[in-house]
């Protein structure tokens, strides 16, 4: 008895099978090329487990349609990756495998992974934020992944520009939303180098923390999570964490009580396994609800 | 068999009993003076129903402590209303009545009321925002009131100042957060008159919508509710609704799909009964979980 996981990312697909506790038993990785090609590898992987496979959990790059009542439920929708636009990934899996399929965003899956077995283990709520090429975030509320009319798109919230920041922003929709000002792409365009080459430049990370702290202020006031886990390439610059905590404290100004900030804002514990672990756990949830 | 409700507001307490469907059977209102006095009236009201009373749901002004594991669970905490600061309202009720007591914010209760019997009836998620003297908001996610480490305090999120707005803001903690710039108090101080006397002044309501739309943008991206119900004294100026919808559409810039905006952003249907109805429903939930 195994549970399948597909972490569908814009550059790679990670597929795995795991046990009911969320433990990864076997995994493979394929580049994200075109649906026909990538999904052929995915199917070949899971065919090995046919008979033992109980369900599959998919955590996908987005935007995706998670509304069960929608005619395009289970589709990857308006992604800039043209080959995948309006691709019915859940439909394709249902054709190939007669098991229940769970479907959510990559970041919601990662939040479920971290709250079950990672940096927020044992809590009933947490957020998972990834700050890399783009900014995405998912959340678990009362033990369940956060969805409503659709899935959250928290990377695009409005923030206040720093008065000395002249960079116009990088988001094709909103210019200077959080992602437009603070994702890896914005750092590279603003400073002319990748974040990893700017590790010693304090100004870069103070500005980065200025934007991230504003986002955490709004997330905290709106969602009141018990813990905020922040991963992604940009956050490998661990010097950002203390700056973000300090700036968040200043912004909140004592208005609400937060958990101890050292415990509230933390890096992932599962690291690159958060998503795939969450997908296994989503498969388990989906099986239990089927 | 009746369910008790206490909508504990900063200026008045509304107490009621209702049936399991949320229907109000009997209600009374008392001014919020000092705990000893106000709570004596509350107790006298419910004593009439002793024997029939199954549970009490309390929706309170805040901040309040909703963390079950906290030593001050059930307290009204750092309110500016000094007589009520650190008042153990749940403890006082437990002493007087041997029934389960549910406890949440007034706005979370109103969200539960509207999603069950009001403007968001039949949905599994909604937000309830009140824009009056202050700004508060609650939410229902997956059919349950939104709580995590604590309760949301969404009225204090950061927004971007309008470039022509010279008013410094009215929030003692954050100056120009949403509440500081857009609550009734801010309108009165900025323009020198109460909102109700400014009904004909388009500039006032365009600026108001500028701030409210920013908040709805962030709430939508973070929570993805199915509907947003906005009440409170300021929103009695119904001309604000179309302005908010239009400005929200501009801000989202087609990035995410929202429900039809006429159905997405609506006034309350239960009007002044949202809170007390939600408190009855909270009492029912609390009884079922006890």
- The larger pLDDT score, comparing residue B22 to residue B79, is at B22
Using the Cβ of B260 and the Cβ atoms of chain A, whether some distance falls under 8 Å is answered with no
Rounded mean pLDDT of B101-127? Answer: 97
Predicted confidence at residue B78, as pLDDT, reads 85
| Residue listed under structure tokens 């098991």 | A99
Kindly state whether residue A112 falls inside one of the protein's structural domains: no
Predicted confidence at residue B106, as pLDDT, reads 96
Predicted confidence at residue B216, as pLDDT, reads 98
Using the Cβ of A217 and the Cβ atoms of chain B, whether some distance falls under 8 Å is answered with yes
Do both B277 and B260 map to the same domain? Answer: no
- Asked if pLDDT for residue B81 goes beyond 90, the answer is no
Cβ–Cβ < 8 Å for B261, B71: no
Q: Do B255 and A173 touch (CB under 8 A)?
A: yes
Kindly state whether residue B113 falls inside one of the protein's structural domains: no
- Strand locations in chain A (E): 2-8, 12-18, 24-31, 53-60, 75-76, 87-88, 101-105, 126-131, 135-141, 144-145, 228-231, 265-266
Predicted confidence at residue A272, as pLDDT, reads 85
Q: Do B125 and A149 touch (CB under 8 A)?
A: yes
Kindly state whether residue A39 falls inside one of the protein's structural domains: yes
Confidence band of B77 (pLDDT split at 50, 70, 90): very high
Tell me the nearest-neighbour CA distance from B161 into chain A, angstroms: 9
Q: Which of B222, B253, B259 lies nearest to residue A173, judging by beta carbons?
A: B253
Kindly state whether residue A113 falls inside one of the protein's structural domains: no
Domain span at A140: 119-266
Cβ–Cβ < 8 Å for A180, A133: no
Report the first-to-last Cα separation within chain A, whole angstroms: 16
Residue of A nearest to B64 (CA): A256
Confidence band of A78 (pLDDT split at 50, 70, 90): confident
* CA A194 to chain CA centroid, nearest Å: 21
Average pLDDT of chain B to the nearest whole number: 96
The pairing of beta strand B135-141 with beta strand B87-88: unpaired
DSSP codes of every residue in B231-260: ESGGGGSTTHHHHHHHHHHHHHTTSS--S-
Do both B261 and B280 map to the same domain? Answer: no
- Asked if pLDDT for residue B84 goes beyond 90, the answer is yes
Kindly state whether residue A125 falls inside one of the protein's structural domains: yes
Q: Within the 176-215 window of chain B, which residues sit less than 8 Å (CB to CB) from chain A?
A: 214
- Asked if pLDDT for residue B238 goes beyond 90, the answer is yes
Do both B25 and B49 map to the same domain? Answer: yes
- Asked if pLDDT for residue B290 goes beyond 90, the answer is no
- Beta-carbon-side half-sphere exposure of residue A192 (alpha carbons within 13 Å): 0
Q: Which pLDDT tens digit goes with each residue over A140-192?
A: 999 999 999 999 999 999 999 999 999 999 999 999 999 999 999 999 999 99
Kindly state whether residue A111 falls inside one of the protein's structural domains: no
Do both B21 and B68 map to the same domain? Answer: yes
Using the Cβ of A76 and the Cβ atoms of chain B, whether some distance falls under 8 Å is answered with no
Rounded mean pLDDT of A263-272? Answer: 95
Cβ–Cβ < 8 Å for B33, B13: no
Predicted confidence at residue A62, as pLDDT, reads 86
Residue from A221, A195, A211 nearest A247 by CA: A211
Do both A200 and A168 map to the same domain? Answer: yes
Q: Chain B partners of A174 at a C-beta cutoff of 8 Å?
A: 251, 253, 255
Q: Within the 102-141 window of chain B, which residues sit less than 8 Å (CB to CB) from chain A?
A: 124-125, 141
- A36 class by beta-carbon count within 10 Å (0-12 exposed, 13-18 middle, 19+ buried): exposed
Do both A250 and A204 map to the same domain? Answer: yes
**A40 contacts: CB under 8 Å, gap ≥ 6:** none
Residue A110 CB neighbour total at 10 angstroms = 34
- Asked if pLDDT for residue A139 goes beyond 90, the answer is yes
Beta bridge partners of B171: B175
Confidence band of A115 (pLDDT split at 50, 70, 90): very high
Do both B190 and B251 map to the same domain? Answer: yes
Q: Cα dist. A122→A115, A117, A270 in Å?
A: 7, 8, 14
Determine what percent of chain B is predicted with pLDDT higher than 90: 95
Do both A208 and A123 map to the same domain? Answer: yes
Residue A9's domain is classified under what CATH number? 3.30.420.40
Using the Cβ of A69 and the Cβ atoms of chain B, whether some distance falls under 8 Å is answered with no
Kindly state whether residue A134 falls inside one of the protein's structural domains: yes
Kindly state whether residue A162 falls inside one of the protein's structural domains: yes
Do both A192 and A78 map to the same domain? Answer: no
Q: Do B256 and A153 touch (CB under 8 A)?
A: yes
- Asked if pLDDT for residue A81 goes beyond 90, the answer is no
**B134 contacts: CB under 8 Å, gap ≥ 6:** B155, B179, B183, B184, B185
- Asked if pLDDT for residue B230 goes beyond 90, the answer is yes
Rounded mean pLDDT of B3-12? Answer: 95
Tell me the nearest-neighbour CA distance from A253 into chain B, angstroms: 6
Do both B66 and B14 map to the same domain? Answer: yes
Confidence band of B38 (pLDDT split at 50, 70, 90): very high
| Residue listed under structure tokens 């153990």 | B88
- Asked if pLDDT for residue A270 goes beyond 90, the answer is yes
- Asked if pLDDT for residue B62 goes beyond 90, the answer is no
Do both A30 and A84 map to the same domain? Answer: yes
Number of domains forming the structure of chain B: 2
Q: Chain A partners of B124 at a C-beta cutoff of 8 Å?
A: 148
Q: Which pLDDT tens digit goes with each residue over B177-223?
A: 999 999 999 999 999 999 999 999 999 999 999 999 999 999 999 99
pTM above 0.80, yes or no: yes
Q: Which pLDDT tens digit goes with each residue over A3-47?
A: 999 999 989 999 999 999 999 999 999 999 999 999 999 999 999
Do both A147 and A249 map to the same domain? Answer: yes
Average pLDDT of chain A to the nearest whole number: 96
């Amino acid at each position: 008895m195994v549970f399948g996981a597909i972490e569908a990312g814009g550059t790679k697909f990670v597929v795995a099978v795991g046990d009911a506790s969320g433990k990864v038993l076997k995994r493979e990785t394929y580049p994200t090329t075109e649906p026909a090609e990538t999904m052929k590898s995915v199917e070949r992987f899971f065919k090995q487990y046919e008979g033992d496979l109980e369900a599959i959990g998919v955590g996908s790059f987005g935007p995706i349609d998670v509304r069960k009542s929608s005619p395009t439920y289970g589709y990857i929708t308006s992604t800039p990756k043209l080959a995948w636009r309006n691709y019915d990934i859940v439909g394709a899996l249902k054709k190939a495998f007669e098991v229940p399929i769970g479907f959510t965003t990559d970041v919601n899956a990662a939040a479920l992974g971290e709250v079950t077995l990672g940096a927020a283990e044992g809590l009933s709520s947490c957020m998972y934020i990834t700050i890399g090429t783009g900014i995405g975030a998912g959340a678990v509320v009362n033990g369940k992944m956060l969805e409503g009319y659709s899935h959250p798109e928290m990377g695009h919230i409005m923030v206040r520009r720093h008065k000395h920041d002249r960079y116009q922003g990088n988001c094709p929709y909103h210019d200077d939303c959080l992602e437009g000002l603070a994702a890896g792409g914005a750092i590279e365009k603003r400073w002319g180098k990748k974040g990893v080459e700017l590790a010693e430049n304090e100004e870069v990370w103070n500005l980065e923390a200025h934007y991230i702290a504003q986002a955490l202020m709004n997330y905290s006031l709106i969602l009141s999570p018990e813990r905020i886990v922040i991963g992604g390439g940009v956050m490998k610059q661990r010097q950002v964490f203390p700056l973000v905590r300090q700036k968040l404290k200043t912004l909140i100004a004592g208005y609400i009580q937060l958990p101890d900030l050292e415990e509230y804002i933390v890096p992932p514990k599962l690291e690159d396994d958060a998503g795939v672990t969450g997908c296994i756990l989503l498969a388990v949830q989906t099986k239990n609800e089927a």
